[in-house]
């Protein structure tokens, strides 16, 4: 089955998921992001690659960090950026998602950055654009339900490559609420594509997807055993707003069993890095002295995220 993100020449036309992305495509995005990183240090933080293009941010779910970094990235590429006020948009008045898209296409939209609480919404838009002959309009998935968050996955890969250089010898731990995490899924697919030999999924049974081992990960229910000798530890936010039912006894109990403290971090390799997609719940999934410590690369992740999103949009616009 053809990859809906790639055209007939194997070029990226949408970014919907890291699943099935060829290694060379991921590496091209990371290499392009590296070239954009220095733009942030200029006095004039702009390049003209998207001049004259219109980027519509369609965020049907709350976000601050992701929406802001996408907006900054598009503006640094000199695009015209339009943020749709979803709470007051026509969709809130009963208009369908695809009717909204059609109206925005009629306003000469060139790219949609879509966050939606329904898994598959960005795919639906991309397929609709294909069927209606608007393949020149691109879709970037900024997070759909529990399914995927590909730019977060890619910026995580950029962060790991920045600090570790080579993926082929790494042991990576992903800790926490993997069941509800689109970031975890995007990370796992990207790590596998880049050749990471050991990926560990760590969490209570209630917060791990059924048959997650089929994704090629090792399961650990004990945090200490799971992080032992790891090179990279990716902590996940405890996603209370996505939970249905009592999956945990309490936040305090969760921190006691799965919170990353300096004592637990000491079991990992001495040069291990600590990551978190944010926003953090301090004292729930991570201790403050770890989040603010020397091994934390959480703030650099945010900086790298702008460059990665610039890379994605510039590559799509060029195809």
182 has binding-site annotation: yes
237 has binding-site annotation: yes
46 has binding-site annotation: no
116 has binding-site annotation: no
Give the distance between the most distant pair of CA atoms in the chain: 57
**Residue pair 217/200 in contact by the 8 Å Cβ criterion:** yes
Q: Is 57 left (phi over 0), alpha (psi -120 to 50) or beta?
A: beta
Closest-CA residue to 152 (of 140, 163, 162): 140
205 has binding-site annotation: no
**Residue pair 189/170 in contact by the 8 Å Cβ criterion:** no
131 has binding-site annotation: no
279 has binding-site annotation: yes
Residues forming a β-bridge with 220: 202
221 has binding-site annotation: no
Q: How far apart are CA 57 and CA 43, in angstroms?
A: 26
Q: How far apart are CA 153 and CA 187, in angstroms?
A: 5
Binding site for L-aspartate: which residues? 93, 182, 237
Binding site: which residues? 65-66, 93, 115, 149, 152, 182, 237, 278-279
Binding site for carbamoyl phosphate: which residues? 65-66, 115, 149, 152, 278-279
């Amino acid at each position: 089955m053809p990859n809906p993100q790639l055209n007939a020449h194997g070029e990226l036309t949408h970014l919907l998921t890291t699943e099935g992305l060829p290694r060379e495509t991921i590496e091209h995005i990371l290499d392009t992001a590296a070239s954009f990183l220095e733009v942030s240090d200029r006095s004039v933080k702009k390049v003209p690659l998207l001049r004259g293009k219109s980027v519509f941010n369609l965020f049907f779910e709350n976000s601050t960090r992701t929406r802001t970094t996408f907006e900054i990235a598009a503006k640094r590429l000199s695009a015209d950026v339009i943020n749709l006020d979803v709470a007051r948009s026509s969709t809130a008045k009963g208009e369908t998602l695809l009717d909204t898209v059609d109206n925005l296409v009629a306003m000469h939209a060139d790219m949609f950055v879509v966050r939606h609480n329904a898994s598959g919404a960005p795919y639906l838009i991309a397929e609709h654009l294909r069927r209606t002959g608007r393949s020149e309009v691109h879709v970037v998935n900024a997070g759909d339900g529990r399914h995927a968050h590909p730019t977060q996955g890619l910026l995580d890969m950029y962060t790991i490559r920045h600090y570790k250089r080579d993926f082929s010898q790494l042991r990576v731990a992903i800790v926490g609420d993997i069941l509800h995490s689109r970031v975890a899924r995007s990370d796992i697919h990207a790590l596998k594509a880049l050749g990471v030999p050991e990926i560990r999924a760590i969490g209570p049974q209630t917060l791990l997807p059924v048959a997650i081992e089929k994704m090629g990960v090792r399961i650990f229910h004990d945090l200490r055993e799971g992080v032992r000798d790891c090179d990279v530890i990716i902590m996940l936010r405890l996603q209370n707003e996505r939970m249905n039912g009592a999956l945990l006894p309490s936040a305090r109990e969760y921190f006691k069993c799965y919170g990353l403290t300096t004592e637990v971090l000491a079991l990992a390799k001495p040069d291990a890095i600590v990551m978190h997609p944010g926003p953090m719940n301090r004292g729930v999934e991570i201790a403050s002295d770890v989040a603010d410590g020397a091994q934390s690369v959480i703030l650099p992740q945010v900086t790298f995220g702008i460059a990665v999103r610039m890379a994605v949009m510039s590559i799509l616009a060029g195809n």
